[in-house]
Amino acid sequence: MLKYIEELRNKLHHHNYLYYVKDRPEITDFEFDQLLSELVSLEKEYPQFFDMNSPTQRVGSSLSNSFETYNHKYRMYSLENSYSKADIIKWNERLEKNLNQKNLSFSCELKLDGVSVSLSYEKGLLKKALTRGDGIQGDDITENIKTINSIPLKLNGHVDYDFEIRGEVIIEKKDFEKMNQIRERNGDAKYMNPRNTASGSIKLINSLEVKKRPLKCYFFQIITENYNIFNQTEALQLVEELGFKTLKTNTFCKNIEDVFDYIDYWDKRKNDLNFEIDGIVIKVNNLDFQKELGYTSKFPRWAIAYKFATERVETKLLNVEYQIGRTGVVTPVAILNPVIINGTKVKRASLHNKDQIEKLNLHKNDYVFVEKGGEIIPKIVGVNINRRNKNSSKINFQDFCPSCNSYLVRSSNEAQHFCQNSKFCHPQISGKFKHFISRKAMNIDGFGIETIERLIKIDELNNFSDIYALSEQNLVSIDRMAEKSAQNLLRAIKNSISQPFHKVLFALGIRHVGETVASNLVNHFETIENLMNANFEQIISVNEIGEKIAKSLLEYFKDRDNKEEIFKLKVLGLSFKINNDNKNKPLNNLKFVITGTFQEISRENLKQKILFNGGSVSSSVSRNVILILGENAGPSKIVKADSYEIEKLSYSDFITKFKL
């Protein structure tokens, strides 16, 4: 019976591929449904033959997905953006210089405006699907991805190697229109645009609901160490041969002139496509060249995105409001008459600071020109003076905090204004709590923003130490939280006590003290007492600590309430010294500079390994550092290291030398 079930599964996989990928069905929908119904019955009768990649597993589940987070095996980088052909020419010149090659060839692809995903296949079977996340880790959306019929669960033929494949989940324009027609008939609000709808759909808790959405996925990159591919054009051919959906618009360009022809062609025809695009992706075609060029900390050097001219829209300025950040920074925000830009409704745009308001010479009820910076962040780029009312008054940056009415100050070397009433200004208080519980700080999972706001409102949260006094009873009664959720939150709060010293110091939210600064301070001073008692000269002697940071630290520790709060947190068990006596750690008193990329480990994880083992990390080469070299290391750092005659190690040499 197992053999027959397998034959039935393979037949359904094959017909699914013909219908959703090749658009060449060989059987009717009725015949397909009959085969699927037979398989469902057989799998119920013989549960011992369950297969997670069976065609029956596409139907979705009403169970909640927890969306656990996993590390990407290969980091998902962003793309550097360009906005003119001059930018592309400069990029090409850099490539030719770095490679010492002329007349490079390229692969050009339309840049779909959707949701990037990464799928892992082992021996031809889908194992895991992750969102991009922050590029280093993503959310597990495997169950939702399985509901997309164009994605194969099991590959055609015999595939004996493992690989990762990247794609973009989208909703095509015609499907999007049909969705909105149905919603309109049902009296529901219409969706705003295909991109946001696809993004929301892929993260729905109920995969039965995901199944109802007309999602498609087009693939553009395959990563494997077990198959010889020599260029991007071959890689795309392999992607298609394996049974994945690809765009038919991908083109090989033998030189940069061909690239410009491709850009010009699609610039005129982009609106005729049945899907949204936000530019062109240009990749060096030769994969050996890609490897040689490597990556910056954010982007691959061998690829760039060309963005079409930004849409500019005129709308009316209704008001200017002011936002207060956790450190007291006050940011003016323009409130606009709602307008659609690149398919998204825009109602607000940052004005950044007082200087920007004065530069634009804004008046009340002005008609302003709005663009999306990088097609993401709305910004006002000009004013239509011809439509200005002669009697309208000029908009002046306000002098007082809109929340607590404290006088706003601006130091001579700052662009922003600040509210200094940090202890009684509500947005600052709530912002500090949100920072304290965040993933990169104390990592208290399940502590929602609404819960924080409610607890602050009723005076249950005034200081960070109050978090550790919360009980299940007051969480359930105050926040109307389910008992299980309250228990999970309290467990997360308890677990946060084990966070290392540098995370705790970062969590305090001291102005200008980011993650790297916190780590460097901790490795230098080792205890909170040493740091609190340090003078200005001692603080600025620490690697990468300047006057601004030193003054901020001295001001923070001068405050009696801050010192009292640190004492309370210390009594509660939070770590304010380096654990395990840092002096016994293998990298004690050693400073490292990391350059290049590594197959074995991400740069961030390597940095954390150094910090955990007592070392410190610098961004610049000096006489007292050790250089860890990855692929495509920065040439300037190597030259400087050679001039200082300092030690250079590969990752494997580093691990071996220090026995890590």
The helix (H) or strand (E) run that includes residue 470 is none
Per-residue pLDDT of 628-650, as tens digits, reads 988 777 777 888 888 888 899 98
Query: Which tokens sit at 571?
Result: 């009594």
DSSP 498-542: T--HHHHHHHTT-TT--HHHHHHHHHHH-BHHHHHT--HHHHHTS
Tell me the C-alpha distance between 154 and 161, whole Å.
13
Closest CA to 592 of 515, 541, 537, 655: 655
- The CATH architecture of the domain made up of 501-572 is Orthogonal Bundle (1.10)
- The CATH architecture of the domain made up of 81-306 is 2-Layer Sandwich (3.30)
Whether 62 has a pLDDT exceeding 50, the answer reads: no
Query: Domain 2-52 is classified in which CATH homologous superfamily?
Result: Helix hairpin bin (1.10.287.610)
Do residues 128 and 70 lie in contact, with contact meaning Cβ atoms separated by under 8 Å?
yes
Closest CA to 31 of 55, 15, 54: 15
The CA angle 117-305-163, to the nearest 5 degrees, is: 35
Tell me the C-alpha distance between 398 and 304, whole Å.
42
Give the pLDDT of residue 606: 87
Q: Quickly state the pLDDT bin for 37 (edges 50, 70, 90).
A: low
Tell me the C-alpha distance between 371 and 315, whole Å.
11
620 CA to centre of own chain: 26
Do residues 223 and 163 lie in contact, with contact meaning Cβ atoms separated by under 8 Å?
yes
Give the pLDDT of residue 497: 94
Q: Quickly state the pLDDT bin for 223 (edges 50, 70, 90).
A: very high
Whether 331 has a pLDDT exceeding 60, the answer reads: yes
- Out of 28-42, 172-186, 228-242, 518-532, least confident range: 28-42
CATH for 310-419 is 2.40.50.140
How many Cβ atoms sit within 10 Å of the Cβ of residue 103? 8
Would you list the domain boundaries of the chain?
A: 2-52, 81-306, 310-419, 426-496, 501-572, 582-658
590 three-class SS: coil
Q: What is the mean pLDDT of the chain?
A: 86
DSSP secondary structure letter of residue 387: G
Tell me the C-alpha distance between 595 and 94, whole Å.
19
Q: Quickly state the pLDDT bin for 492 (edges 50, 70, 90).
A: very high
Q: Quickly state the pLDDT bin for 597 (edges 50, 70, 90).
A: confident
Give the pLDDT of residue 583: 57
Whether 53 has a pLDDT exceeding 70, the answer reads: no
194, 524, 611, 617, 629 from 590: Cα distances, Å: 51, 11, 10, 9, 16
Do residues 39 and 53 lie in contact, with contact meaning Cβ atoms separated by under 8 Å?
no
Annotation: CATH topology of 426-496: DNA polymerase; domain 1 (1.10.150)
Q: Give pTM, 2 decimals.
A: 0.55
The half-sphere exposure of 639 on its side-chain side, counting CA atoms within 13 A, is 3
Catalytic residue among 44, 111, 203, 345: 111
Do residues 283 and 79 lie in contact, with contact meaning Cβ atoms separated by under 8 Å?
no
- Out of 19-33, 108-122, 137-151, 345-359, least confident range: 19-33
Q: Quickly state the pLDDT bin for 60 (edges 50, 70, 90).
A: very low
> Which residue type, as a one-letter code, is found at position 353?
N
Burial letters for 296-329: b for 16+ Cβ neighbours within 10 Å, e otherwise? Answer: eeeebbbbbbbbbeeeebebebeebebebbbbbb
| Percent of the chain whose pLDDT exceeds 70 | 90
Do the domains at 81-306 and 426-496 have one common CATH topology?
Answer: no
Tell me the C-alpha distance between 494 and 498, whole Å.
8
- Out of 250-264, 422-436, 596-610, least confident range: 596-610
Burial letters for 576-592: b for 16+ Cβ neighbours within 10 Å, e otherwise? Answer: bbbeeebeebebbebbb
Per-residue pLDDT of 379-393, as tens digits, reads 898 999 999 988 889
Q: How far apart are the first and last CA of the chain?
A: 52
Do residues 416 and 329 lie in contact, with contact meaning Cβ atoms separated by under 8 Å?
yes
**What is the DSSP pairing of strand 277-284 with strand 115-122?**
unpaired
Give the pLDDT of residue 626: 93
**Residue keyed to tokens 């210390």:** 570
Whether 373 has a pLDDT exceeding 70, the answer reads: no
Helix %, strand %, coil % of the chain (to 5): 40, 20, 40
> Which residue type, as a one-letter code, is found at position 296?
T
**Residue keyed to tokens 């299940």:** 472
The reply to whether 111 belongs to the active site is yes
Which class is 582-658 in CATH? alpha beta
The half-sphere exposure of 592 on its side-chain side, counting CA atoms within 13 A, is 25
Sign of CA dihedral 273, 275, 281, 285: negative
Give the pLDDT of residue 88: 95
Whether 376 has a pLDDT exceeding 70, the answer reads: no
- Rg for the chain, CA atoms, rounded: 28
67, 431, 493 from 438: Cα distances, Å: 17, 11, 12
Phi-psi region at 123: left, alpha or beta (left = phi > 0; alpha = psi -120 to 50): left
